[in-house]
Amino acid sequence: RKKVIIDTDPGIDDAMAIFVALRSPELEVLGLTTTFGNVHTALATRNALHLLEAVGRTDIPVVEGSHVTVKFSIMNLQAVSFSVHGTQKATKLRIASFVHGSDGLGNQNFPAPASKPLDQSAAAFLVEQANLYPGQVTVVALGPLTNLALAVELDPSFPKKIGQIIILGGAYSVNGNVNPAAEANIFGDPDAADIVFTCGADILAVGLNVTHQVVLTDADREKLEQSDSKYARYLSKIMGIYFDYHKDAYFIKGVYLHDPTTLIAAVNPSLLTYTEGVVRVQTVGITRGLTVFDNTKKRYAEMTAWSGMPTVKVAVTVDAPAVVELMMQR
């Protein structure tokens, strides 16, 4: 079984992805690490614990990640202990409560979880697991890439020890979803994304060019509602606000399966095709968060920020019906 760590900001589509992972015999979930994005990190941790409790899987550890972007976190780095609580003003983070509800899970007012996160930072957990199982751990990153960037800063050999990093992040030759330039997870911490994309790890990026083809319809939601499975019924309950948002923002009667598609890339990589090249992330200005992908293999005359950079794989096509079917099945 493939050992996976899910780095997540739950989040409605994160919840779907986590449940697909728990129902996939191909995967062994080593832990959930949390990040800000759809909600602040403290709430992401609470939601991760709650999701595991809701389906009786409290055997899986939850590890809290950074509360702030990589720049602010590094500023707060102490000599011996790695601080995850920085001083960045909350208003500087982009939190997508208008997409997922102010609780991140469709405004359901779930009770506070009884379980607690591990007493460790997400970055330290990522490094620890990579050392424990060198070359064998896949990180499925479903939120901003802060924790992974911190793991690279904490241990420069992390990129070589981690098996693979599968990222929901970026928009390759299509517009973003936060603004025309940027996809939400990259926009959340562009500096972290640029560190991760150029760190030399085996990286597979799944972007909006692919996930906007994978739509869960109203009819699928009804099937989930009617299902005997506690996983399916739970998800059908929290999805309402996510459907409303897609109707308002994209004029579609369905929802994009960003995070589940990315998780499914770990379960069955053959459902997507990929092309390889260098990805760099714009970190300033009106295109902050833009992912620029070069797979031309051209030798440019001047290309200082690009030449010799490690390449990553970027998803270009997806078997959308097969992804939706697998998600529904699981």
List all residues 6 or more positions away from 169 whose beta carbon is below 8 Å from its beta carbon: 141, 145, 183, 185, 186, 193, 205, 206, 207, 291
Residue placing its CB nearer to Ca ion in the complex, 33 or 155: 33
Site for ligand BDR in 59-118 (CB under 6 A): 96, 99
Site for ligand BDR in 143-162 (CB under 6 A): 143
122 contacts which partner out of Ca ion, ligand BDR, none, CB within 5 to 8 A by kind? none
Residue placing its CB nearer to Ca ion in the complex, 82 or 172: 172
33 contacts which partner out of Ca ion, ligand BDR, none, CB within 5 to 8 A by kind? none
Task: Give yes or no: 9 in active site.
Answer: yes
Provide, rounded to whole angstroms, the least separation between the CB of residue 185 and Ca ion.
6
Residue placing its CB nearer to Ca ion in the complex, 141 or 267: 141
Dihedral over alpha carbons 272, 275, 280, 284 (to 10 degrees): -50
183 contacts which partner out of Ca ion, ligand BDR, none, CB within 5 to 8 A by kind? ligand BDR
Secondary structure element (H or E) that encloses residue 7, with its range: strand 2-8
List all residues 6 or more positions away from 323 whose beta carbon is below 8 Å from its beta carbon: 214, 257, 260, 261, 264, 271
What is the distance between the alpha carbons of residues 173 and 146, in angstroms, rounded to a whole number?
24
The torsion angles phi and psi of 329, rounded to 5 degrees, stand at -60, -50
> Which is the catalytic residue, given 40, 50, 212, 258?
258
Q: Is residue 184 a contact residue for ligand BDR (CB under 6 A)?
A: yes
What is the distance between the alpha carbons of residues 283 and 270, in angstroms, rounded to a whole number?
32
What is the distance between the alpha carbons of residues 254 and 215, in angstroms, rounded to a whole number?
6
Task: Give yes or no: 258 in active site.
Answer: yes
Q: Is residue 206 a contact residue for ligand BDR (CB under 6 A)?
A: no
- Of 312, 314, 292, nearest in space to 303 by CA: 292
Output DSSP code: residue 113. Answer: P
Residue placing its CB nearer to ligand BDR in the complex, 184 or 312: 184
Q: Which two tokens stand for residue 116?
A: 């607690």
99 contacts which partner out of ligand BDR, Ca ion, none, CB within 5 to 8 A by kind? ligand BDR
Q: Is residue 11 a contact residue for Ca ion (CB under 5 A)?
A: yes
- Binding segment (CB under 5 A) for Ca ion, from list 6-14, 97-105, 127-135, 152-160: 6-14
Q: Binding residue for ligand BDR (CB under 6 A) from 5, 6, 7, 14? A: 14
Q: Which two tokens stand for residue 223?
A: 């099937």
What is the distance between the alpha carbons of residues 215 and 144, in angstroms, rounded to a whole number?
22
What is the distance between the alpha carbons of residues 85 and 148, in angstroms, rounded to a whole number?
16
Q: Binding residue for Ca ion (CB under 5 A) from 142, 151, 167, 171? A: 142
Residue placing its CB nearer to Ca ion in the complex, 117 or 144: 144
Q: Is residue 18 a contact residue for ligand BDR (CB under 6 A)?
A: no
Residues found near ligand BDR in the complex (CB under 6 A): 11, 13-14, 37-38, 96, 99, 142-143, 168, 177, 183-185, 258-259
Q: Which residues are catalytic?
A: 9, 258
Residues found near Ca ion in the complex (CB under 5 A): 9, 11, 14, 142-143, 259
